[in-house]
Structure 1
Amino acid sequence: MKPADLVISNMGETREEQMQIVLVEETKETSPIPTNENANYHPAVPLVQKWLKIGLYSLFGLSGASVATLLGSFYFEKGGKSKWVAALVQFAGFVILLPFLLISPKRPLTEEGYQRPNKPSAILLTSIYLSFGVFQAGGSLLSIVGLQYLPASTYSLVSASQLAFTALFSFFINAQKLTPFIINSLVVLLISSVLLVVNTSSTGSSVSKGKYILGFLCTVAASASSALMVNLAQLFYRQVLKKATFGVIIKLIIYQSLIASCAMVVGLFASGEWKGLRKEMDDYESGKVSYVMTLVWTAICWQLSSIGSVGLIFSVSSLFSSVITTLTIPIVPVGAAIFLHDKMNGIKVMSLLLAIWGFVSYMYQHYLEDFKSRNETASVAPEDSSNERC
């Protein structure tokens, strides 16, 4: 073979080898066979992340509401008298959340993981925040009246009726399915609350029977108000905002709390109660420092509870958020008996057991739904992969 032919032959072989290399690389890029990075992916990872987030929000809601309720009862027992101040601290703690606006993610993601181009108008958001803030202020006043006239344990157990109201409103507003387990949960929780209203003679409280009944009715009204609020909030979050970032949750709490705080300040000055705050602090049984720290920590705990509640409303549902709230039922009476020397009689124990039964019944239904959803996802995945191969 001539040298020229040998050179041409080698060039041809080189070109063929290069073309084969290119074809192999293109095949790797388009091949459905997973790479090492995708091979390490496991579908359970997003599920674990989801439940870790739900667990964190639940911890905030549970611990915040429990401690705040006990501190609110402590405030009245030690000489606090202002309903407006007690209601104000439920919202005034929003100032501690302001630094989180600087560190929260700026890119709003939806549940599907992409950013929506259309944002709600400023007028719509302002009107909704204003309505929610005023609505929260009214519900807060009702709950404060209940907490003032009822022992902490009784107040907590009556508040369990919020779950029944939430399920009812969820059915009409957010199309929540009412299964037998959920209906059982609602009936049991209602019985748990009704048992307490017939127990006025052994409440261990110094208030009159009339004030006890007033406190009971106000607590029930506050529970219904909160239930309607969380359902409207779920509808608003998913139909208007459609965002799931931590920053969005913080902004919602700050705006609503700011409006509610303004309403409470107006009520405080309009009622004239602000004139007696100095005397109230001086006469506080535990001292001035205890007076201030009680209000400060109550405000902080309510903000933790708000973060947990709003996070659960968007991450799961308004009904699930109310279920977590009912977990304070076994915590608050025990805490009140230990720290506030509240009495626990047979009726309260029975009401407590019924409330726990109602909570377990609902959680079992949630477990069944989650188990069914995972099985459906697992059955669809192989079909999708087989279609891709075809």
Structure 2
Amino acid sequence: MGFHTKSPDRITQEEEANIGVENQPRATTSTALDRSQILKTRNWWICIFVCSGLVAAGRVLSTLLLNFYFIQIRRNVCDDPKRFRGTWLQSLVQNAAFPSTAFLLLLWRSSFSTQRETSTPCYSSFGKLFLLYISLGVLFVAYSQLYAIGRTHSLFFFWIFTSQLIFTSIFTTIINKQKFNRWIILSMCTGLGITSSGDAYIPCENNEGSRMSNGAWCSFFGTVAFSLSLCIMQLGFQKVIPTTESRVSAVMLMQTNASMIATLICLVGLFVSGEFKDIKEDLETFKKGKQLYVWSLIGLSLAWQVMSLGLVGLVCLASSLFSNVVSFCAIPLANILLVLAFRFMDADVKYFKEGALVAGILGFASYVYSLYKSTKKKEIASQSETTRV
């Protein structure tokens, strides 16, 4: 009839061949993508719980060692004239353990780095990275110094300290475009209820009104600086940190550089203020001896660095708000261990602390459940896109 036709049998054979050639790679690719996604999700959850453990361990150890240090140098005595000194030393110790993180960074890169990770980022990003680390270093100094002053001067330090969650939620909404759901709000509400403390460094009620007022304002601005630092970290991971860096390297690099800048600023403040002269006196009057004085400061610095590393890791993996929630949820555990170690509080207050621990666990679980739901939605979306392709 003028048309060149093929037999039905031949058409069927060719179609079957095409189907075998085209669909087999697609099925294999889909399976490989599913396995890769499952592996990434599993590793992500492992990192989340590891960083949460670092925050909890750092919070507990720093609280115990800080109170041990206060008691041994008689900072818990109301009529001691040294009670209001040593704030720059506290700020210095809080940031001075950055060489340990730098060592871990070098060890990680030498063991697990790839060609893609170690490639040099473009020069246009160096200015942004420098500005990021400088701003974080200044904020580290600001909140560590302001918190040290607020702790020594204000009776309401721990109540003001709780406002971190409020400021973090405000800043992360503006800067990081954080979206809230009922589970996140529930975790924040439980975190706001955790205000108890068994600190040995509670200011005396007979402090001067002006000193108490200054301490309250320092505590307030310290919470603002800390919350802002977390949100700037998240912005840095989203916009500034080179994509050639792995998450582990990026976290350790940020913590190392920001802490190094903060340490240099604290050293300047220590010598300009003249507080370096008090170190020798503290060393001589430390009840447990000079060696334990040195080791307590080293241990305290390492504990703070561990907690900070966990906080930065949670910011990178999840969000600044989740990092702050985990930090708050670890406070009741530290307070209970503090009571057992130093017996600061009565038995009646102990029950309140146990209730705060339960609230902290519920707050952590609520936010983790929110993360679980969001990751499930992403997995379903990626699977549907793969099926369409």
Contact kept? 2:151, 2:202, Cα under 8 Å? no
Q: Does 1:73 align with 2:67?
A: yes
Contact kept? 1:100, 1:247, Cα under 8 Å? no
Cα distance in structure 2, aligned partners of 1:220 and 1:309: 20
Correspondence for 2:48 among 54, 58, 82: 54
Correspondence for 1:131 among 131, 135, 141: 135
Cα distance in structure 1, aligned partners of 2:364 and 2:49: 17
Shift of 1:29: 9.8
Shift of 1:92: 0.8
Higher alpha-carbon deviation: 237-246 or 57-66: 237-246
Shift of 1:289: 1.1
Q: Does 1:208 align with 2:205?
A: yes
Q: Does 1:164 align with 2:162?
A: no
Contact kept? 2:146, 2:221, Cα under 8 Å? yes
State the one-letter code of the partner of 1:320: F
Contact kept? 2:330, 2:360, Cα under 8 Å? no
Relative to structure 1, the CA distance from residue 97 to residue 182 in structure 2 (aligned partners, 3 Å threshold; closer, same or farther) is closer
State the one-letter code of the partner of 2:293: Y
Q: Does 1:82 align with 2:86?
A: yes
Q: Does 1:315 align with 2:309?
A: no
Please tell me whether Structure 1 or Structure 2 has the larger radius of gyration of its CA atoms. 1
Relative to structure 1, the CA distance from residue 284 to residue 249 in structure 2 (aligned partners, 3 Å threshold; closer, same or farther) is same
State the one-letter code of the partner of 2:108: S
State the one-letter code of the partner of 2:235: L
Query: Deviation string for 1:285-311 (max 9, x for gaps)?
Result: 221111101100011111111211111
Relative to structure 1, the CA distance from residue 89 to residue 376 in structure 2 (aligned partners, 3 Å threshold; closer, same or farther) is closer
State the one-letter code of the partner of 1:246: V
Cα distance in structure 2, aligned partners of 1:355 and 1:168: 25
What is the match of residue 285 of structure 1? 287
SS at 1:99's partner residue? helix
Cα distance in structure 2, aligned partners of 1:204 and 1:245: 37
State the one-letter code of the partner of 1:83: T
State the one-letter code of the partner of 1:310: V
What is the match of residue 337 of structure 1? 339
Give aligned-pair identity as a percent. Answer: 24
Higher alpha-carbon deviation: 205-214 or 224-233: 205-214
Shift of 1:276: 2.4
Residue ranges of structure 1 left out of the alignment (5+ in a row): 1-22, 197-202
Cα distance in structure 2, aligned partners of 1:237 and 1:208: 44
Q: Aligned ranges for residues 13-32 of structure 1 at < 5 Å?
A: 27=21, 31-32=25-26
Cα distance in structure 1, aligned partners of 2:306 and 2:283: 26
Contact kept? 1:284, 1:291, Cα under 8 Å? yes
Shift of 1:215: 4.8
Relative to structure 1, the CA distance from residue 39 to residue 333 in structure 2 (aligned partners, 3 Å threshold; closer, same or farther) is closer
Q: State how many pairs are aligned.
A: 354
Query: Deviation string for 1:289-339 (max 9, x for gaps)?
Result: 111011000111111112111111011110111111012221121122122
Cα distance in structure 2, aligned partners of 1:242 and 1:384: 28
Contact kept? 2:187, 2:325, Cα under 8 Å? no
Give the alignment's Cα RMSD to 1 decimal.
Answer: 3.8
Shift of 1:64: 1.1
Shift of 1:78: 1.4
Q: Aligned ranges for residues 87-102 of structure 1 at < 5 Å?
A: 87-102=91-106
What is the match of residue 248 of structure 1? 250
Shift of 1:354: 5.5
TM-score (norm 2): 0.77
Cα distance in structure 2, aligned partners of 1:42 and 1:60: 27
What is the match of residue 230 of structure 1? 230
Query: Deviation string for 1:104-151 (max 9, x for gaps)?
Result: 3345879xxxx9975643233222212211121011011222344579
Residue ranges of structure 2 left out of the alignment (5+ in a row): 1-16, 76-84
Cα distance in structure 2, aligned partners of 1:209 and 1:107: 60
Relative to structure 1, the CA distance from residue 204 to residue 318 in structure 2 (aligned partners, 3 Å threshold; closer, same or farther) is closer
SS at 1:342's partner residue? coil
TM-score (norm 1): 0.76
State the one-letter code of the partner of 1:67: L
Relative to structure 1, the CA distance from residue 363 to residue 332 in structure 2 (aligned partners, 3 Å threshold; closer, same or farther) is same
What is the match of residue 18 of structure 1? none
